[in-house]
Amino acid sequence: MTNHIDGNKVADRIKAELHSCIETLEQNDVTPGLATVLMSDDGASETYVSMKQQACDDIGIEGFHIEIPADAPEKRLLQRIEELNADPTVHGILVQMPVPDHVDESAVLEQVDPLHDVDGFHPENVGRLTTGNPRFKPCTPHGVQKLLEAADVDTEGKNVVIVGRSNIVGKPMMNLLVQKAENGNATVTVCHSRTEDLAAKTRQADIVIAAAGVPELIDESMLSEEAVVIDVGVNRVDTDTEKGYELVGDVEFESAKKKAAAITPVPGGVGPLTISMLLHNTIKAAALQEDVAVDLP
């Protein structure tokens, strides 16, 4: 019987656990603040940013939403980030990716003060993650760990195949899973667009984490019996429905669920955890900057 892992349920539990941290901060006259910066014409980015701001409202984090025209010069974005770094009411800063082609992504990520970098994308925070002493775990990979934990899937000694090598999911996911730590200690293979015979690799996996951004790339034929399947895909496929698109994962869900011991859906799987772990990192940033001890879940 396949275990359908309910991301919304796990995300709601984590948000409930975060409430006590917010109360501790309030008792110390601290209101955590998260600034989201959007410089994009992409509809998906607007959706995600509004979801993040809504989640902040729900939990009591003060949200600041900044929009910069997609055709503005790069220096306008860099200057705005500099102002946010210096704003005492802002503890977390997230610049929604992707940024426009004319903007240097690395320059943007390095402009965010590492103590405000709630994505965990700043090189200093990537370095701390890879050396096993993370300040901020990137939200989606950390959310995947929370889903595996909730599904009682132990990663120790398991063969994990990550499909995708992005800086925001694949690579940090690999780093978290190889660490000598709880929810780590796995043997990890990272596959990507140049991998030969992908199916041969994924069929060896106890756990498959699909984060390639390719709609329905993984199907039943590519899985071992009782594999655990985590679908990180958030692909918008155009349809003639009212919404104009449907959200499709990197896994062909109806096919994969025939073989998987546990599987996450899209939507309703990893996405909600990305949001919850962003709230987690924002609370951690406020606690660090304001020197308040909180007991994070």
Is residue 119 flagged as an active site residue? Answer: yes
Residues listed for the chain: 297
Is 203 marked within a binding site? Answer: no
Is residue 96 flagged as an active site residue? Answer: yes
How would you class 31 by CB atoms within 10 Å of its CB: exposed for 0-12, middle for 13-18, buried for 19 or more? middle
Q: Does position 274 bind ligand GUE by CB under 6 A?
A: yes
Which residue sits closest to ligand GUE, CB atoms considered?
A: 271
Q: Least Å distance between CB 196 and ligand GUE?
A: 29
In 10 A of CB 247, how many CB atoms?
Answer: 18
How would you class 279 by CB atoms within 10 Å of its CB: exposed for 0-12, middle for 13-18, buried for 19 or more? buried
Binding positions for ligand GUE, 205-234, rule CB under 6 A:
234
The site for ligand GUE, by CB under 6 A, has a size of 18
Active-site annotation holder among 15, 111, 117, 119: 119
Residue 165 or 201 with smaller CB distance to ligand GUE: 165
Among 139, 163, 260, 294, binds ligand GUE (CB under 6 A): 139
Q: Torsion-angle region of residue 120: left (phi > 0), alpha (psi -120 to 50) or beta? A: left
Q: Is the peptide bond before 98 cis (omega within 30 degrees of 0)?
A: yes
Which residue has 């991301």 as its token pair? Answer: 7
Using CB under 6 A, list all residues that contact ligand GUE: 47-48, 51, 94-97, 119, 139, 234, 247, 266-268, 271-272, 274-275
Would you list which residues are annotated within the binding site for NADP(+)? 164-166, 234
Catalytic residues, which ones? 52, 96, 119
